[in-house]
Every structure is written in structure tokens, then in C-alpha cells.
Structure 1
Amino acid sequence: MVSDPRRRIPRTDVLLDLPEVRAAALSEAGKRSLIDAAQSRARALEIAPEEVAAQVVASLPERASSMTPVINATGVIIHTNIGRAPLSEQAQRALIDAAGYADVEMDLAMGQRSKNRGAGARDALLAAVPEAEDALVVNNGAAALLLATTALAENREVIISRGELIEIGAGFRLPELIESARVTLREVGATNRTHLADYAGAISEDTGAILKVHPSNYLITGFTSSVGVTELRGLDVPLIVDLGSGLLRHDDALPTEPDIAAQLTAGADVVIASGDKLLGGPQAGILLGKADAIARLKRHPLARALRMDKLRLAALEATVAGPDTPVAAALHLDPARYRARTEALAAAVGGEVVDHDGRVGGGGAPEYPLPGFAVRLPAELAPALRTGTPAVLPRVHDGACLVDLRCVPESRDGEVADAIQRAGK
């Protein structure tokens, strides 16, 4: 009689004892699941019993997370699809320091619980933006907007220009977010033109606040008119300004992008921004403003539900208090060195150097070009670059694969060259 080959399928304990399986960054349940899948294939005669061990080893994950690290060669600095802002080395170290037990809500000297959660991040923000009297940090920009409008105008109206009823990525609309709480939006003006009289005429005893939103991901040009913060301040109604992009102070590299300090100086009660855009830090909703307004936000029950975790508090503090971020470095490249690196890459891989305008991305400085360079390659290389190791994300445009080193640390130029050469084989 011919022996059933399935009798030769390795036992689970034997497979668990393989050196590669023992060393894998995977729970025992996860390892057993992979083993069971390979054994099931052998029982179904899809693979030979002798192939089971190799199948198990091949299926082991290379990393503890399913997310794949990516080298950003698109020229878009704050690329939402690959995680927006990359953290600085200092912020990464802060994350690791906070990953274990940390005194996030503990007074170590007294041995008691403290009320200083997030104090380091708050103090760093106030030092960077002394125009603010107080600061609060929550989970993300949308959370910050929800908290501000709810705390300052719950059961009342928020006045907003029709030209600022924006939709951001993935179909997310700010009006729907605001109205999900007990707040009513009072729309004024027209899509392209809103005047001070429109706001003034809408104010009533039901008015809780005026909301001014920076339309960070589009431009309206032509016959347009809008009202600035200084004019709105004169209406003597709590004023919330949502900037989105997170520029703390004016930057000559982005002359048209509004900054937090300027809005506070002009009279805003609360200014909202994201932490993972131009600030170059982790995801966060940053609220800076007048002491009484921020105090109202802190007292609202939503503040607890929307608070940030210890890891991002640590990374945000390190970002604000630390040296320049990768975002700042990409924004302020030395043009001569940038071109020299691009030419060296082109020479190494046989590509052509072309002019290429980068972008801020992430809703910052819409349509504002960042003059730069890229290596032009055949478009068919792009899929292999995206799926290689390391994964390199180029821009595919006008039938070509464009590799822009703006957001690539110079120390990784060699990796990009090697990836391109492998993709071309």
C-alpha cells in the first residue's frame, strides 16, 4: 500500500521550534495561525509536506507592524497617504522614552497623581508662540474644531462664511462635524464674496461664536472678498480661527500661508492647527488662545474624550522644543546641493534631470510651487519601486516616473539609487 503523504506533515510543536519562528515578532497565537495555514495547504495537497516549514518561514512578517516604511520621492512634503509629517530624530527618541511607564500624570517627588498631563507640550507651545496666553492639545485637528465650537457655542449658533464651508480629504466636511454636536451653523455671504456687514447682520442673542476657516486645500480667485481677523475682532463675539496647516510663525518660504502668531495678534480668541503638517510633529489638534477661552475648552467634558496619548504628547513637545524638523529641512533645501544630489542620482541610474515643482501638501499653501528637480525615468519602473525593499514612492506624471529627492534624507540617496537599479532589472 502507498502511504498517505499527509502523514509526513510536520507537527505544530516542531514548526514552533524552528529558529526563525522562535525569533519572529509575533504572538504565539499568530505563529500558530501561520502554521495552521501551511499545514492546511499540505493536507489539501496544494504543497508537499516537505514544503510546509519553508512556507511557514516565508509567511513570517518582517516587521512588528503591518505598515511598510516608505521613502518619499514625490516632492510632496506633507503627504497624507504616507503619514503626513515624518518625525524628527528627537521626537522619535521621545516616543521611545515614553513607550514604557512614564510620569504622564504622576508627581514623582510627592508620590501622588498630578494634574500636569501634557504640561511639557503646552509649555513648549507657549514658549514658541508667546502671543498665546494658554494652550491645549487634543487628538487631531477635527477634534480641536469640534471641541472649540462646542465649548464656546453649545446650543447656540456659529457664524461662518459660505466660502469657508470646506470639505477635506476622504469626503470629510467640516460643517457636518460641527453640526454633529449641539451647535447650529449660521451661513453668511456668498461663495466668492463675504463682507463684514454679512457677519454683523447675523449676530443675535443666539450667537455663540464666529468661525473663520482657512481654505487650505483650494483657492478661489477672481471676483472675491473675505473678512480678516482684525475686522471680525471688532464685532465683539468669540472668534475661532481654524488654520489647519500648523505654521507657528511667518515663513518667507511660504509668503501666502497664514500663521498662528499673526492670528492671535490680530485678535483671535482661539486658533486651531494640526500638529502633523507644517509643524512637523505627530498627529495632534493644537489650540492656542486667550486664557479664558482655553479654560472653557479644558472644562468641557469633550476635552477628556478627545485628549492625546502620552506617546504623541512626548513627540509633540520634542518637536516644538527641538531643532528643525524634516518638514522644515525639505522646505528650506539649499538649491545648489539639491541639484547636485539630483544630478548624482541621475548619473548613477541613467536618468534625466528635469525641473520639478514640489508641493507642501496636506492642505498647506495650495497651488504654491516649490521649485526643484527630479530624475525622469520610464513610467514602468514605478510599481517596482513602490513594492521594493525599501519601498520608494515616486511621482508618475506625463508618462514618466519622477524621483524627487526633496523629502529624502541625503544619507539615503544611495538606497534610492540601488532601488532604481533593482527596479530596472
Structure 2
Amino acid sequence: MAQDDPRRLIPRTDQLLGLPPVRRARGRLSDGVVRSLVREVQDRARRGDIGPGDVEPEVLAALAARSATTLRPVLNATGVVVHTNLGRAPLSPAAVEALVSAAGYVDVELDLRTGSRSRRGAAARAALLAACPAAEDALVVNNGAAALVLATTALAAGREVVVSRGELVEIGAGFRLPELIESTGARLREVGTTNRTHLRDYEDVVGPETGCLLKVHPSNFRVEGFVSAVGLSGLRPLAREHGVPLVADLGSGLLAPDPLLPAEPDAATALADGADVVIASGDKLLGGPQAGLLLGRPEVLARIAAQPLARAVRADKLTLAALEATLTGGTPPVVHALHADPDELRRRAERLAAAVGAPVVAHDGRVGGGGAPGVPLPGWAVRLPEAVAPVLRTGDPAVLPRVHDHACLLDLRCVPEREDDRLLAAVRAALDAVADDAAPAR
């Protein structure tokens, strides 16, 4: 390399690692991450993309911008409340505080008064029972699918799970209910047809090989027209007659009826109608962390909890802490978003629209997460050019709009009002960027 080659002026790695801001960064980032960022900047300088004198400030800027996780916070402007691609339910301030408190050593499985081991997650269990008095016992696992797998394994491994053909649904990411259940060693006994199932269909197959009767809420679709199904109250006498558990997988996570969603099942009603075990999700309409909730009769839940698989799917301390705080703290953001006042949403949308010179249009939000399919949540959206959408998604903050009918729509239902100013700044920056790209070159 020639003596006057400017690449000889690129700072050495040890020099850069010895800079005080870099040493401080190594307190929050691993040594491997810091060294990788340093090498990336040095390589840019070797390629001639930046000058040698720019290496040090570029390294400091890269370290300042790098967090310990690559997950980015997103402002959800789609109008979809339980957005699976965005992690479903945003946690309440109380749940976030609980997560931080539980990050260290906590008494998750210890009675501090006696110093002896205690029941894991006792506080979360107590909070669930207080929130759903119809349940006599509760068990928390790591997600809803795990709750179903655990229940069918404990109650029906090597035996039959009786379920209507119209309830053999496919859930997110291509996972199908029949495959999940059959993975437990249970055998599916399908009854009825896709659109019509009667009590006699269940009566004809229930017998010594029956492990449980299963009712599954379809969640993300509806069958209308010439249809028939048997509810929990109709199945209860049959289950009692044969001494088999009646399991209801609700999916959505409602613990009590919500007038806004009259067709969405809830745990309290399902238990009153005769379910021995109700399965629900913690991160959907309950508005908490990802968790599978099992509520019901103590003797049946004791069988489920005793199944060795329960150890493999148990909830960790962070989930238990966030779930308890969701149930005992303030109203979760999901509930706020579902019940947002349309007039207030319009006021906020008009304020944003006026600031950027855009129109406001009527826009229906959605529950999302497989809940209440087809139920509109009336609201409003700011209509922007479609070209703004990718700029918003990759901006800072990242904003996810809805792209529909060749337009970029911003629905503020799921955007906390405290974020309105940041959203406005992001929209202005995106509009400016699109305008610059569209301007003719000089």
C-alpha cells in the first residue's frame, strides 16, 4: 500500500475501542456487537464511502443508534386493535412496571414468610379467579395453543377428542387444530358436517373411548345461512351422563361479556353453561402478555396440571407478573382502543389532517387477532398518498398505516393520544421525503 494511501489514516480498532464513549457503550452492548459495529465503519472507510476522519464520529453515531434488541417500537395506525404482526396486545403501564420489577429475583415460587417453596404463579392465579369468579381454579401456560395441547394430552391421550367438523379450524401461521390435537397422542372423532352438527351426532359416538368433548370458537371466520351447532349448555347433560370433561377453547380472552362484541364468547358465560375447562389467550381481548389461560373445575385442572407436559409449557415469571398486573392494574390499552369514542377519534384525525393538508375519511377499525370477525369499529382516518406508506414504515418513529384503495390511511384508534405529536412529525417528514423524490432533478 502506498505511503500516501488515505486508508493508512483509518483509526485502529484498539484506538476506537479505547474511546470513552465506546467504553461506556460496552456496558450496555456485548463486546461482539461493539467490535462488529467498529469493523463495519472501518470497512466503509476502506471502500472509500467515508473519509478516515469520519470514522470516529460514525462509530459513535452507530453505537448511539444501536440498542440491545433489534425489535423496533411501532405506532399502530392500522385501526386493527389486536395486531398479530405487531405482537398483539400492547401492555398497560402497570404491566410494563411489573415486567421491570420481575426482571430480577422475585418470589415466583417461594413463600417469603416460611422460606419454603410455594405454588408457582399463585398471585396471577388469584387475580384470574378474582376477575372471573365463575372459575373455581386456574392454570397459566405460555400460550393458547399450548393450553389446548396440554388439556387434550392430559384428558385424552390415547383416547378420543370429540369435536364438530365445523370447528376444526386453522389458526395463525398455518397451524391446524387437528394436527395440534393429534400431536398429543389423542384421536380426533369428528362429528356432524362443516355447516350443521346436532346433539345426536355427539350422542352417537360418545363412549368408553371418549377422553373429552371439545367446543372450539371459530374466531377468525363465520359460517352463515343453513347452519346448526350445539352449544355448551346442550352438551353439558351428555358430558355429565358419561363422566367426560367438556372443554371450551374460546381463543379470544374475554373473561366476561362485552356489549360491544355480543357474539364473542367469554369465560364466565362458558363456565356457567357447563364447560369444565375454558381455554383463552392472555394477549388478545384480555389485553395482557402472551399466555394460555385454563379456567374451570379444580378436579379437572388438577389432572391437567399433573401432566408432565405442564412443566414444558409453564409460564415464566415475566408473563405471570404482567398477567397479574393486567388484571389488577388500570384499563389495558386494548380495552381503551376497542371502546374509543368515534367523536374523539374524529377530533384527533381532523387535527392531524389540518396540520398536513389532508382529508379525513370514515374508516372502520377491526378487533384483530381472530376476534369478532366482521365486526366493524366505526372511526376515522387521515387519507394520504399511497407513496407515503413505505416511508412511514421505515421512519423514526416507525408508523404502520393501512394501505387500501391506493391510499395510505392513518387510523388513530390504537395510537395513544400522547403520541400524536410524534405521529405528526413522522407524517410531515414522510410527506417531505416523498415530495423530494418526486421533484424533477436540476
* Fold match (TM-score > 0.5): yes
> Is the Cα–Cα contact under 8 Å of residues 156 and 211 in structure 2 kept in the other structure?
yes
Change in Cα spacing, 1:377 to 1:41, as seen in structure 2 (3 Å) is closer
3-state SS of 2:225 partner: coil
Unmatched segments (≥5 aa) in structure 2: 433-442
1:366-397: per-residue Cα shift (whole Å, max 9, x none)? 11111111111111111111111111111010
3-state SS of 2:223 partner: coil
Aligned to 1:257: 264
Aligned to 1:18: 19
- Within a 5 Å distance, the mapping from 1:15-414 to structure 2 comes to 15-24=16-25, 25-43=28-46, 47-60=50-63, 61-112=65-116, 114-236=117-239, 237-414=244-421
1:325-350: per-residue Cα shift (whole Å, max 9, x none)? 10110111123222211111111121
Mean Cα displacement is larger for which, 248-257 or 41-50? 41-50
Unmatched segments (≥5 aa) in structure 1: none
Alpha-carbon distance in 2 for matches of 1:169, 1:193: 25
Q: How many residues align?
A: 424
Alpha-carbon distance in 2 for matches of 1:104, 1:223: 51
Aligned-residue offset at 1:47: 4.8
Aligned-residue offset at 1:420: 0.7
Aligned-residue offset at 1:50: 3.1
Alpha-carbon distance in 2 for matches of 1:174, 1:48: 58
AA aligned to 1:7 is R
Instruction: Please provide the CA RMSD for this pair.
Output: 1.5
3-state SS of 1:313 partner: helix
AA aligned to 2:178 is P
Aligned-residue offset at 1:55: 3.9
1:61-114: per-residue Cα shift (whole Å, max 9, x none)? 4322100000111100000000100000000000011011111112222223x2
Mean Cα displacement is larger for which, 56-65 or 201-210? 56-65
Alpha-carbon distance in 1 for matches of 2:42, 2:399: 35
3-state SS of 2:366 partner: coil
Segments of 4+ moved more than 6 angstroms: none
Alpha-carbon distance in 2 for matches of 1:41, 1:340: 48
3-state SS of 1:367 partner: coil
3-state SS of 1:377 partner: strand
3-state SS of 2:382 partner: strand
AA aligned to 2:137 is D
AA aligned to 1:212 is K
AA aligned to 1:265 is A
AA aligned to 1:327 is V
3-state SS of 2:368 partner: coil
In percent, how many aligned pairs have the same letter? 64
Alpha-carbon distance in 2 for matches of 1:18, 1:339: 51
Change in Cα spacing, 1:35 to 1:148, as seen in structure 2 (3 Å) is same
Using the size of structure 1 for normalisation, the TM-score is 0.96
Aligned-residue offset at 1:264: 0.2
> Is the Cα–Cα contact under 8 Å of residues 10 and 53 in structure 2 kept in the other structure?
yes
Alpha-carbon distance in 1 for matches of 2:271, 2:284: 19
3-state SS of 1:159 partner: strand
1:387-410: per-residue Cα shift (whole Å, max 9, x none)? 111111110100111111111111
Using the size of structure 2 for normalisation, the TM-score is 0.93
Aligned-residue offset at 1:46: 5.7
AA aligned to 1:78 is V
3-state SS of 1:393 partner: strand
Aligned-residue offset at 1:171: 0.8
3-state SS of 1:424 partner: helix
3-state SS of 1:394 partner: strand
